[in-house]
Chain A
C-alpha cells in the first residue's frame, strides 16, 4: 500500500513537472527554470512570455522548455543539472534564490551556457541579467505624489533585500521630486506570494487612511482591494488592469522577451559570452502599462519622465539626496553608481519606516 501512496506522490510531482516537446536533434535547446508556475499571473509568467517570444522568433532553429515551481535551495541544483544533462545548450535560471545552484551546475558543465536573473555571481560560462525596475518605480512615485490627497502612499514589500529597498527609495525619490512633503509608509509581509496576507496588508494601510497603494509582491490581491475600496494602486510585474479596472494607474511590466531573443541569437551565431547585463526602460526589458485613471496633465508628466529616463537625460538617483537620518548621500548632480544600488541597505529621506535588519 505504501508503494501505491508513493506512486501517487510521484504522479503528483509529475503534474508539477517537466514540459518538453518532442526532441529534434538539429535544434538548439534553450531551457528555463521558474520559481513559480508559468501561469502565476506575475513574475514567472513574465519570464514565460519571454520564452514564448523566443520560440516564435526562432521556431525552426530552437526548441524551448521549462521547469516550473522549482523551490529555491538544494532542489534547484538537481533541477538545473537535469536540464544541463538533457542537452540544453543555454539555460536561464530566473530567480535570485537559484544563484548558488546555478554557479555549481555551471562549473560542472563548462560547455553549457548559463544565465542567472537578478544575481551577482558569474563564471566563464555563467552570465547574469537584471532589469532596472527602479526606473519604473520612480515614475510610479511621481504619479503617486500627484494622485494622493494626503501626501503619502503605502508600499507593500516582501523581504528587506537590496532589490526591494532600491525600489522603495526610487519610488520615494520620484514622489518627492513632485511633493517634498511626501511620506511613504512601508509594510513588510515577509512573503512573495500570499494573496490573503497581501490583501490584509492592503486593508490595514487603507484603514489607516492611505489612498495610494503600491506593491513589491507577486499577486493581484492588493490591486483587487484597491478596486473595492475605490482607491488607486500600481501593478507589479504584469499589467494588473483586469483586477483593478478603475484602480490601476499604471504598472511596471517585465518584458524579458527582447533580451531573451538577443541572447538566443548570440547563442545561435556562436557569439555568446558570459556578460553582466542590467537593462532598463531604454532597452525594453521593462515597460510601463498604459497610464489610466488619472488626469491628462499627470499622464503627460509620466510620459515625459519615461521619455527622459529612456534618453538617459534623467537618472532617478541623482543628487542631492539625503539618507533617511538626514546625512548627505549624493551631492547635487551626482548619480548613484550601480554597485551602491545593487547593495542598497539604507533608506533615503521621506521613507516613514525603520529598515528591518
Chain B
C-alpha cells in the first residue's frame, strides 16, 4: 500500500462519523428543530453499539443497537421540545450532558475490553480498480451507508414530496400547519432520523475508528458536526465536502508533523477548523441563496391552535 492510499483510508475513517451525524442534524434542522444534543446522542450510540456487539458477538448487531440507541435517546428530546414545548437550546444541551453521564454509567463494565471491529466488504470488480478500488470499495458497511445517506438525503429533501413538506415546515410551521401538514409528527420523525444518524456515527467510533469503549470517546465531534451544518448552509453535498475537508486537514496536519516541516503544532491543530470554516463560508457566500436555505422557523416553538 502506498502512503497516498494509506492517507486516503485514514481520512475516510476520520470523516465518516462527521458526515453521517451532520446529515442527520441537517434533516432535523431543515424541519425547524435545533437539536444541540448531537454529542450526547453520538456517545449513546457509541456505547449502545459497543454493548450490542459484545452481547451478541456481532458488529452488525452493534450497528443496529447504535442506530436504535441514538434514535430512542433523541425521542426524549422530541417529547420535551415538541410535545411539552420546552426550550430547544436548553433541552439540547441537557441531552448532551445526560448522554455523556449516562453512557459512562452504562459503559462502566466495558472499559478496557477489546472491541469487535466491523469487517470490510469488498465489492466485486470495483474493488480491483487500481489505487481507488481498495480505498473506496473495500470498506466497511458504515462507510457505504454514509455515501448512501448523502445521496438519499439530497434526493429526499429536494426531489420528494415528503421532503418538500419537511422543508415547508422548517420555513414556516404555521403556514404548513394551515395547509394541513402534520407539523409535530413530521418533526418527531426528523428528530429521530437525526438521532439515528448520530447513533450510527457513534457506532462508527466504537466499532471502526477505535474499536473500544472509553467514556467521552466522541471527544467533541458532535459539536464539530453542528458547526458543519451551519457553515454548509443546510446543503447535503456541502456537509459532505465540509466533513471530508475537516477530516483531510486533520490527517494531513499529522503527516506534516511527521515529515518535520517545522510548522508549530498548535497552528496545525487549529487548521482543520479554520480551513473548513473558510472554505464553507466562501462556497456559501451568496447571501440570497443562504437566506433561502436557512430554515426560517429554526429553533422556534410550535403550538398548534385548537
- Which A residues are closer than 8 A to B by beta carbons? 1-2, 4-6, 8-9, 11-13, 15-16, 36-37, 39-41, 154, 160, 185-191, 193-197, 199-201, 203-205, 207-208, 219-221, 224, 228, 238, 240, 242-243, 352-354, 356-357
Q: Is the interface of B mostly helix, strand, loop or mixed?
A: helix
Is there contact, CB below 8 Å, between A15 and B212?
no
With an 8 A cutoff between CB atoms, is B237 at the interface?
no
- Give the most central of A40, A195, A240: most B CB within 10 Å: A195
Q: How would residues 82 to 112 of chain B score, 1 for a CB under 8 Å from any chain A CB and 0 otherwise?
A: 0011110011011001101110110010011
With an 8 A cutoff between CB atoms, is B205 at the interface?
yes
Of the candidate stretches B120-128, B250-258, B287-295, the one touching chain A is B250-258
Which A residues touch B205, using CB under 8 A?
Answer: 195-196
Is there contact, CB below 8 Å, between A15 and B105?
yes
Q: How far is the CA of A354 from the CA of B108 in the complex (A)?
A: 39
Q: How far is the CA of A205 from the CA of B260 in the complex (A)?
A: 12
Is there contact, CB below 8 Å, between A243 and B114?
yes
Closest to A222 in B: B210
Which A residues touch B108, using CB under 8 A?
Answer: 39
Is there contact, CB below 8 Å, between A188 and B257?
yes
Q: How far is the CA of A352 from the CA of B259 in the complex (A)?
A: 10
A194, A200, A228: the one contacting B254 at CB < 8 Å is A200
Q: How far is the CA of A243 from the CA of B91 in the complex (A)?
A: 37
Closest to A228 in B: B117
Which A residues touch B104, using CB under 8 A?
Answer: 15-16, 37, 39
Is there contact, CB below 8 Å, between A207 and B113?
no
Closest to B113 in A: A242
Which A residues touch B102, using CB under 8 A?
Answer: 12, 15
A207 smallest CB distance to B (angstroms): 4
A1, A197, A224, A243: the one contacting B85 at CB < 8 Å is A1
Is there contact, CB below 8 Å, between B258 and A204?
yes
Q: How far is the CA of A242 from the CA of B214 in the complex (A)?
A: 14
Is there contact, CB below 8 Å, between B210 and A221?
yes
Closest to B17 in A: A196
Which B residues touch A6, using CB under 8 A?
Answer: 90, 94
Q: How far is the CA of A191 from the CA of B104 in the complex (A)?
A: 20
Is there contact, CB below 8 Å, between B209 and A220?
no
Is there contact, CB below 8 Å, between A4 and B84?
yes
- CB-defined A-B contacts under 8 Å, sample of 12: A4-B84, A39-B104, A41-B214, A187-B254, A188-B257, A189-B254, A190-B269, A200-B10, A207-B255, A219-B210, A242-B112, A354-B260
With contacts A207-B7, A356-B265 taken as known, whether A2 is within 8 angstroms of B87 at the C-beta atoms is yes
Is there contact, CB below 8 Å, between A37 and B210?
no
A39, A188, A197, A352: the one contacting B219 at CB < 8 Å is A197
Q: How far is the CA of A9 from the CA of B99 in the complex (A)?
A: 11
Is there contact, CB below 8 Å, between A1 and B258?
no
Is there contact, CB below 8 Å, between A1 and B84?
yes
With contacts A187-B254, A204-B255 taken as known, whether A39 is within 8 angstroms of B215 at the C-beta atoms is yes
Is there contact, CB below 8 Å, between A5 and B212?
no
Closest to B85 in A: A1
Closest to A241 in B: B112
Is there contact, CB below 8 Å, between A195 and B210?
yes
Closest to B265 in A: A188
Is there contact, CB below 8 Å, between A219 and B90?
no
Is there contact, CB below 8 Å, between A39 and B111?
yes
Is there contact, CB below 8 Å, between A204 and B254?
yes
Is there contact, CB below 8 Å, between A41 and B266?
no
Q: How far is the CA of A205 from the CA of B259 in the complex (A)?
A: 9
With an 8 A cutoff between CB atoms, is B300 at the interface?
no
Q: How far is the CA of A201 from the CA of B219 in the complex (A)?
A: 15
Is there contact, CB below 8 Å, between B251 and A204?
yes
Q: How would residues 186 to 214 of chain B score, 1 for a CB under 8 Å from any chain A CB and 0 otherwise?
A: 00000000000000000001000111101
With an 8 A cutoff between CB atoms, is B279 at the interface?
no
With an 8 A cutoff between CB atoms, is B216 at the interface?
yes
With an 8 A cutoff between CB atoms, is B181 at the interface?
no
B253 smallest CB distance to A (angstroms): 9
A174 smallest CB distance to B (angstroms): 22
Is there contact, CB below 8 Å, between A190 and B97?
no
A164 smallest CB distance to B (angstroms): 12
Which B residues touch A203, using CB under 8 A?
Answer: 6, 10
With an 8 A cutoff between CB atoms, is B75 at the interface?
no
Q: Please list the 7 inter-chain residue pairs (A to B) with the smallest Cβ-Cβ separation, ordered nearest first.
A: A15-B101, A188-B265, A12-B97, A1-B86, A12-B98, A194-B219, A207-B6
Is there contact, CB below 8 Å, between A205 and B114?
no
A4, A36, A185: the one contacting B258 at CB < 8 Å is A185
Q: How far is the CA of A221 from the CA of B259 in the complex (A)?
A: 22
Q: How far is the CA of A199 from the CA of B104 in the complex (A)?
A: 21
Is there contact, CB below 8 Å, between A207 and B217?
no
Is there contact, CB below 8 Å, between A199 and B209?
yes
Which A residues touch B68, using CB under 8 A?
Answer: none
Q: How far is the CA of A216 from the CA of B80 in the complex (A)?
A: 42
A5, A243, A352: the one contacting B80 at CB < 8 Å is A5
Q: How far is the CA of A187 from the CA of B268 in the complex (A)?
A: 11
Which A residues touch B257, using CB under 8 A?
Answer: 186-188, 204, 353
Q: How far is the CA of A5 from the CA of B205 in the complex (A)?
A: 28
With an 8 A cutoff between CB atoms, is B3 at the interface?
yes
11 extra interface residue pairs, beta carbon distance < 8 Å, beyond A9-B93, A16-B104, A207-B7: A1-B85, A4-B84, A11-B98, A15-B101, A16-B100, A196-B219, A197-B219, A204-B7, A220-B212, A242-B114, A356-B266
